[in-house]
Every structure is written in C-alpha cells, then in structure tokens.
Structure 1
Amino acid sequence: MKENGSSSGDINIIEHKAYARIGLIGNPSDVYYGRTISVNIENFNASVRLEPSSDLFILPHHTHDLVQFSSLNHLTGLSGSSAIACAAFSCLLDFYNVRDKIAVEIRPQLILNAEEELGIVAGLQDRVAQVYGGLVYMDFDKEHMHKHGHGKYTQLNSSLLPPLHLIYAENPSDSGKVHSSVRQRWLDGDEFIISSMEQVANLALEGKTAILEKDYAKLADLMNKNFDLRRQMFGDAALGALNIEMVEVARSVGAASKFTGSGGAVVAYCPDGPSQVELLEDACKKSGFSIVPVKVVPSLLNESDIRALSSTVTP
C-alpha cells in the first residue's frame, strides 16, 4: 500500500496489488472439496487505487479501462478476475481500518461471494493464494468448510520450490467455460468424476510432501498426472487445442507441465536443468508461445494480518 497526500494534505490514496496465481498441484479439486497447492507470482498483477470522496465515482482510465485491467487482462488461467477483486478488498480493509478485525481465513470467501454476485463461477483457490501470497497448501475438507466457513490453509516456504517456467498464449481460450459439464456430472454423482477428482486432490497431499522433501522428480510426476487426470475428465474439446498444445510442447522436451488454472497458461518444470530450459524456450518460440521464468511473490501478510490469522507457516 502507498499513501499520498493531496496538495491540501487531507486525502489519502490507498493502492494495492494482487498477483497472478499458478495452480501447481491439485486443481481443479478446490471446487470439489479437494486440496491444492498454489503459488503467487510477480510476473503479472492487477492494481486497484482507492481515493476517499464525498461522492462515489467510478472513473475509467483514459487508455486501459473497458479493454484492459492491468497485466492480467489478456491471460486466462492466472486468476485475473479474482486479482482485481482481491486488490480492491485490500484497499477497503485499510480504508476502513479493519485489517486486524476480519480473519484472514474468511477473506477469500468474502471475495468469492462478491464475484459470485457478478456471475463468476470459480473456487476458493485463487482468492486464498492472492490473500496469503507465497506458496500455499490448501485443504478444502467438506466437514471443516461447513463447520468453519473456510478451508485449512498453510503457507509453505517458497524457497523449497525448484525453478519453474510459465508458458502462455497471447490469445488464450476462455477459462470460465471449462468447469461446466464436469461440475454437473459431479453433482449428479458420476462415479468416474468423483473418483478422479479425489485422485487429483490426493496429488496435492503428495505434492506437499515432495516439496518439503525437495523430491523434485516426484513433483514432476505429480504435475504430469494432474494434467492427465484433468484431460480424462474434461476431454480435449473442453480443454481446447491451443491449451493442450502448450502442455505437449513442454513435454516434447521432457519437461513436466500442467495448466496453471483452467487453460490459457501452463506451468512447466525442467528436471534436467538449464540445458533443458533452453530446449523448452526454443520449442515455445517455434510454436508461437511466450515463456518466462516464474518469480514467486513472498508472503503478503503483514503484522495486522498475522494478528487475524490462526493458520501456521511451515518452515
């Protein structure tokens, strides 16, 4: 947050950023009482600026508004819509001076509630990652969710992660349509979908252990399994040819890869190191995809947030 006084010194400007999210392991089971591991990244962000006024003004930016909202606008699968909502929510917490009064664990649900009123279909994963920052393990156990109104969220030490790369297309598919048929089949009790989603959730539990033990070969295997299970459930038509191609380009050089969210971007890990990264960069360039090293955002929780937090940080 930054505060700037006006010329008369009586107006404070509050500005917050929320960062893109990579679903590393376990997505999309967050929508199905599963588990996920997500990481907040600096590569892309949304920024919201709040100025006190006696009247309510929604002022469009002369260049960007209506066509672009920060660096996240053109990328799906990286939680762009929730980033805008999270940044706005952070501004309001400071404006009303209630940051230490609203529990950190329930903030993601409050943000999701606001988005649902706009017709956005999503799970809690994005909002949890963007509220906490860094690397977060999330358990959306159904009984715990119903009893407490939130999942069990644990921050992990992001320095335990291996080097990751983000692959994306400039004209990605719409991630908002990917969940639809699978969600209904899950609600209808489809045994294949239910069992497959449980397998996806279990990958996150295994992934947590792999990260803590720095077992990166295991992590690579889990990433690949995550995408393969998603593909079996959703089918190629729903995932989109361009999205599948990004995964296959990464795998063509031996890199582990999966969707960051529901499509539009892919996270890749090169277990063989820098030489394999070069091969991946060349393959992406030939296929017309952009690739950048992932820059992890540290924890976003300040002292006031920590006072409103009951979860722990794993060293």
Structure 2
Amino acid sequence: MRQVKCVAHARAGLLGNPSDGYGGKAIALCIADFHAQVCIEPSDRLRLSRGLQPGRAFASIGAAIRDVGDSRYDEGVRLLRASMKRYFLAFPERAFQASASLESRFLMRYETDIPRQVGLAGSSAIVIAALRALNEWFGTDLSSQAMAQMAWSAEVEDLGFSAGPMDRIVQSEEGIVAMDLAEEGDFSSYWSLIGVELPPLFMAWDPNGGSPSSLAHDSLKKRWRSGDPIVLKAVSQFRDLVDEGLILLKKNNHDGFRDAMTRNFRLRQTIFHVGQIDLEMVSIALSLGAGVKLCGSGGAVIGIPFSESDFSLLERAYRDKGYEFIRPVLKLSDSHRKSESRNQ
C-alpha cells in the first residue's frame, strides 16, 4: 500500500527573535530532538486525524478546505485543513484531478512529540510536515521558500495566528538559518549558515506548557503598527545584535555569542512581559555563568554554558526545579550535510 510520511522539526531562535515579525533579523536553528510527522495513505474517504484516532471525514477536498478555522475541530486537524487549503490554492489543478480519482480519498494523520506551547514552533511544524506530505503525495515540486510562505499564510491569514516568518523559514530550510525580514511578507531574504561551528548548547523547558505564542504577539503587533518608538528602537537593536552575532560566529567567538544571547533576552524584556517561569529558567542559567535567551515566545530557554563541565550543573539545577533539560542536536539541512561530507 502506498504511504507517504514527512516530518518537520522543532526550532529555537538563537538571536533576533521576536523581531522577525516586526521588520527585524534573526538567527535560528532546527532541532533534531523533536518533530511533527504527517502521514498520508489511501482510504475509503477523505479523513483527517491525530494519530490513530478515527478523526473527521469530509465529502470532498472542497469540503475539507472550507471554513478551515472552525473551532469544533481539533487544533491539529485545523492546521491540516489550512495546509490543504494553501496547497490546493497553489495547485488548483491537483484538486480538480484528485476529485475525479482515488487520490482524493486518503487518510491524513499527524503526530508530534514537540513540547506544547513552550515556543518551539510545534504548530508550524505540523503545517510544514503536511505541506511536504501533500507535495510528495501529489507529485509536485514545492521549494523551501514557497513552503514557508504557504505555511505562514495558512497560520496567519487562514487561522488568525499572530506570527512572524522565522519559524516557517527555518523549518522548511533546516539547519542554521539567518534571516533579514525588513520587508513584511518577504520570505526570500534568508541564507543557511554553512560551515558555521555552533557552540555547545543546552535547552530547558516547562513540561506543563504555557499559553499559545500568538497571544504574546498580539499586543506587540499593535504597538509596532502604531509606530511605538520603544518597539521600533528595540527592533533596530535586534537587527544590530544579529549582525554582531553573525560576525561572532564567523570568528568562532563563542564567548561573545554567549553574551549576545543574554543581551537578546534583556532587550526582549524592554518590549515584552516575561512571566515568572521564564524568569526563573533564565535566572538558573545566569547564576551558573551561562548565556541564555528564550527559544521562542516563552516556556523554553536555550543557552551556552560557561564551560563544558557546567552541563551537569545546569541539568541538575533545572531538573531540581521541575524543568526538562537536553543538549539539543542540530537538524542538518541537505546543504549542511553535503558540506560536512566534503570536509570529512
């Protein structure tokens, strides 16, 4: 039986976020430790579900992509429906052809192990995985850039989320990615950081999760659009910080990059409310000499220890407070893998 399985991984911002949604710059990476998977296989009718649950059946592709934000559906199923809508808007001939063939009768199901609502881009991972699966199922040729744009449109325009381009760009491209997002809606100004040696990283997060990241961005988006001088100044400083970070990485100045990550967090505090849990996670790292910032909108931190021997101290400190802790593994892009193989 034909079956398609595609994945997209969690992401963490290294510098610049949250300015990516407000004309800023960012450096982010894909994390191999967590992913969302979308599977498509033949079925007697079109059906969308989470895991092995029965899911929801639809009479046609048209019915599945109508009113995709209907809150009666599981959030993950809404993400699948919005992904389908954007895919078939890009390839309308596929929807027409599929309606007259068995291709339109399939089971599309998602699974994810990305910790929920801690700023690791779990929602956009489901969308990117769904677009990859549809792309393979219908035999089309979506570029990474087009996929990122479609994912953003699905979440922001169709589902009403407040979000910047960063997550979708890095999840579609993979590896380590730098982005200049000065022009709103421009998904073309990014580049993979091939050959860059990252310092050793740690991640910690709240296993209880938090609130949806879009809630954190709603107020800031209004302030930015109204020309709030505090927000505009911070965005300009984030852009400068990313430029500095790129130079530091190029020079393998990991001490400088560690300091830049902490300055990113301090700058964020000038425009964003930071909750007690996030403050505690940051304080744990700083008390042990590490550089640290939030991975995304809150609920998880990423950082660089002062020395290799500090990893065990950091892990014990976080776990003693009830937080999860890992040393994240970079999810390499095809370009990164080819570069590594040439250098071996």
TM bracket (short chain): 0.7 to 0.9
SS in 1 for 2:271: helix
Q: Distance in 2 between matches of 1:54 and 1:269?
A: 51
* Aligned positions of 1:1-315 closer than 5 A: 6=1, 12-53=2-43, 55-62=45-52, 69-99=111-141, 102-116=142-156, 117-142=158-183, 149-157=186-194, 160-174=197-211, 175-235=213-273, 239-271=274-306, 273-300=307-334
1:201-249 C-alpha deviation (Å, 9 max, x unpaired): 22111111111211111101110111001111113xxx21111111111
Residues 246-272 of structure 1 show CA distances to partners (whole Å, capped at 9, x for unaligned) of: 11111110100000000011001013x
Q: How many residues align?
A: 284
- With 276-285 and 287-296 compared, the bigger mean Cα shift is at 276-285
Structure 2, unaligned runs of 5 or more:
56-73, 77-110
Distance 1:28 1:48 in 2: 28
Q: Alpha-carbon deviation of 1:89?
A: 0.4
Deviations 1:171-203 (A, max 9, x none): 122123211222211111111110111101221
How many angstroms apart in 1 are the aligned matches of 2:335 and 2:145?
12
Q: Is the 8 A contact 2:29 2:175 kept in 1?
A: yes
**1:32 to 1:228, Cα distance in 2 relative to 1, 3 A:** same
Among all aligned residue pairs of Structure 1 and Structure 2, give the percentage whose two residues are the same amino acid.
32
> Normalised by the size of structure 2, how large is the TM-score?
0.77
**Cα distance change on mapping 1:73 and 1:265 into 2, 3 Å:** closer
Cα deviation, 1:67-125, whole Å, max 9, x if unaligned, reads 984111534200000000000000111122222xx343232111110112112221110
Structure 1 residue 160, shift from structure 2 partner: 0.6
User: Could you tell me which amino acid in structure 2 is paired with residue 265 of structure 1?
Assistant: A
Q: Distance in 1 between matches of 2:219 and 2:50?
A: 36
C-alpha distance 62-183 of structure 1, shift in aligned 2 (>3 A): same
The residue that corresponds to 2:105 in the other structure is none
Could you list the runs of 5+ residues in structure 1 that have no partner in the other structure?
1-5, 7-11, 307-314
Distance change in 2, residues 1:180/1:217 (3 Å): same
Is the 1:133–1:301 contact (alpha carbons within 8 Å) kept by the matching residues of 2? no
Corresponding residue SS for 1:42: strand
- Counterparts of 1:177 and 1:245, CA distance in 2: 21
> Cα 1:63–1:107, aligned 2, differ >3 Å: closer, same or farther?
closer
Report the Cα offset of residue 64 of structure 1. Answer: 11
> Which residue identity is paired with 2:251?
E
